[in-house]
Amino acid sequence: MDKKYLYISTIGCQMNVHDSEQMAALMEKEGYVGTKDVNQADLIILNTCSIREKAAQKVMSSLGRFRRLKEKKTNLIIGVSGCVAQQLGDRLLMKVPDLDLVLGTHNIHRLPEFIAEIEKTGTKIVETSLSEETPSLGIVTLPQIGQVTAFVTIMQGCNNFCAYCVVPYLRGREESRTQEDILNEIRNLAGIGVKEVTLLGQNVNSYARSTKGASGFVGLLNEIEKIEGIKRIRFTTSHPKDISESLIAGFAGLSKLCKHIHLPVQSGSDRILSLMNRKYTKFDYLAKVANLRKSCPDISITSDVIVGFPGETDGDFQETIDMMNEIRFDNLFSFKYSERQGTAALKMNSKVSEPVKMERLRILQALQEEHTLEKNKALEGRREEVLVEGFSKNCREDVMGRTSTNKIVNFAGHGNLIGEIVPVYIKEAYLHSLRGEML
């Protein structure tokens, strides 16, 4: 088999990062070797995100760059996958005629077949059908030698239809993998030395909800807990309305479950939460946070907030700020509301102007920086258990790892610590990381 090179560019969330890993694994079997040099590529895949307009625009600018490479290398194949591919389908081919493949979110498993067809006949392919059951859910990736952490998809899709969100339209309805499939994949990962798994899904708390006889998300966590070699379990993302009492109790009872939860709140105003179709109130959310902290006092809580949702007044925004002051998140990802085709919010009145959105984002981010630093500083002088993932970005004399609460720690250490959980004394805290000393 001839050696060919695959370059994948990924925009978007961890789910997309993992989809890219899956595509690389599939194409490796066909003789494609991954490359970080786009000029070397025989096949370029742009794995896209459409959650906000900005991410979708990034796709067009990247494609402009890749198209020019085709002038020099006429047999170069360019494909677009992910949410923008799903959304635009053959319209994308009309916009960018040099494109060879438009691959929707449920069709990743067909990538090798499509590439073989394009190589043979030069035909252009668009496949964006959404099926109820998709084999792409179970594609197993090939971790690198020495890889410490790995993503494992447990479900995909979403049934919630939040008023601002395109995900239910582009990723389809919720679909869960079988527990056995997931456990087998994790056992294999443990067998080759992976120490930490992050379970992925748009709404992991509804894992196997509609599967008869299944023990749900907490049942799955209980089973993963038993797998030898796996030392830590993380998951993302959760919907506040679906966080169960048993999961909250799991933060106290499951020894491998990391003390971190990403729990997107979106707004602190009940009126806006209702318009967003989030199906919980600020009171419900605060109660979940209180219960989480009761079950696990050290838990770190991160969240997402959208500013400038249609109809958001200064008063609504102030309620979000008040809630942030009350909860004090460890970290917060905040976004300006972005209009998306097909969503319910598109038709809502009282749109918030761009300058107001920008100002609200600025205020909110400045406040969050204070809270993040305050939370990180509280760790100074403490001993933390750190799973070492690799060398530090800027210094090969240092290693980096994470606390159970998902804070990055850098400290002087040898490469043979990679994959070990070690005790580290936290000397200094910054906004994005901690500096420590191994004990």
Residue ranges binding ligand SF4 (CB under 6 A) = 158, 160-162, 165, 167-168, 202-203, 239
| Among positions 195, 282, 340, 407, the unique one binding ligand 5AD when judged by CB under 6 A | 340
SS (H, E, C) 339-396: CCCCCHHHHCCCCCCHHHHHHHHHHHHHHHHHHHHHHHHCCCCCEEEEEEEEECCCCC
Among 181, 304, 385, 428, binds ligand 5AD (CB under 6 A): 304
Non-local (6+) Cβ contacts of 232 within 8 A are 195, 196, 197, 256, 258, 387, 404, 421
Which of 165, 233, 263, 386 contacts ligand 5AD by CB under 6 A? 165
Query: Judged by CB under 6 A, does residue 51 bind ligand 5AD?
Result: yes
For ligand 5AD, the nearest residue by Cβ is 304
> Minimum Å distance from CB 343 to ligand SF4?
9
| Residue 113 interacting partner from ligand SF4, ligand 5AD, none (CB closer than 5 to 8 Å by kind) | none
Instruction: Find the shortest distance in angstroms from Cβ 40 to ligand 5AD.
Output: 33
The answer to whether 158 is a known ligand-binding residue is: yes
Q: Which of 234, 266, 237 is nearest to 174 (CA)?
A: 237
For residue 429, give both structure tokens: 């805290």
Q: Which is nearer to ligand 5AD, 183 or 344 (CB)?
A: 344
Q: Give the one entry of ligand 5AD, ligand SF4, none that residue 352 binds, where binding means its C-beta sits below a cut-off of 5 to 8 angstroms depending on kind.
A: none
400: which 2 tokens?
A: 């980096």
Distance CA 438, CA 360 (A): 41
Q: What per-residue string of b and e applies to 275-311 under the rule 16 or more CB within 10 Å gives b?
A: bbebebebebbeebbeebeebbeebbbbbebbbbbbb
d(CA 332, CA 263): 10
Given the complex with ligand 5AD, which of 117 and 304 has the nearer CB atom? 304
Out of 176, 337, 402, 409, name the contact with ligand 5AD by CB under 6 A: 337
With CB under 5 to 8 Å by kind, the binding choice for 425 among ligand SF4, ligand 5AD, none is none
Q: How far is CA 278 from CA 40, 55, 79, 248, in A?
A: 46, 23, 35, 20
**Residue 52 binds which entry of ligand 5AD, ligand SF4, none, with Cβ cut-offs from 5 to 8 Å by kind?**
ligand 5AD
258 marked as binding residue: no
Residues 6 or more apart in contact with residue 97 via CB below 8 angstroms: none
The count of residues interacting with ligand 5AD (CB under 6 A) is 12
Measured from the CB of residue 25, what is the shortest distance to ligand 5AD in angstroms? 25
Q: Please give the C-alpha separations between residue 36 and each of 6, 12, 103, in angstroms, as whole numbers.
A: 9, 18, 21
Which residue pairs, CB below 8 angstroms and at least 24 apart, start in 84-87?
Answer: 84/48, 84/49, 84/50, 84/56, 84/59, 85/48, 85/128, 86/50, 86/128, 86/130, 86/170, 86/171, 87/50, 87/166, 87/169, 87/170, 87/341
Tokens of 86: 């799903």
Which one of 88-96, 248-256, 275-283, 334-342 is the stretch in contact with ligand 5AD (CB under 6 A)?
Answer: 334-342
Residue 82 interacts with which of ligand SF4, ligand 5AD, none, CB < 5 to 8 Å by class = none
Least distance from ligand SF4 to the Cβ atom of residue 418, Å: 34
Residues 252-271, one symbol each (x = binds ligand 5AD by CB under 6 A, - = not), give ------------x-x-----
User: Quick one: what does residue 338 bind among ligand SF4, ligand 5AD, none, with the CB cut-off 5 to 8 Å set by partner type?
Assistant: ligand 5AD
Q: Is 162 annotated as a binding residue?
A: yes
Nearer to ligand SF4 among residue 139 and residue 167 (C-beta): 167
Binding-site partner at residue 306 among ligand SF4, ligand 5AD, none, CB < 5 to 8 Å by type: ligand 5AD
Q: What is the chain's percent helix, strand, coil content, to nearest 5?
A: 40, 25, 35
Query: Interface with ligand 5AD by CB under 6 A: which residues?
Result: 51-52, 164-165, 264, 266, 304, 306, 335, 337-338, 340
Binding-site residues from annotation for [4Fe-4S] cluster = 13, 49, 83, 158, 162, 165
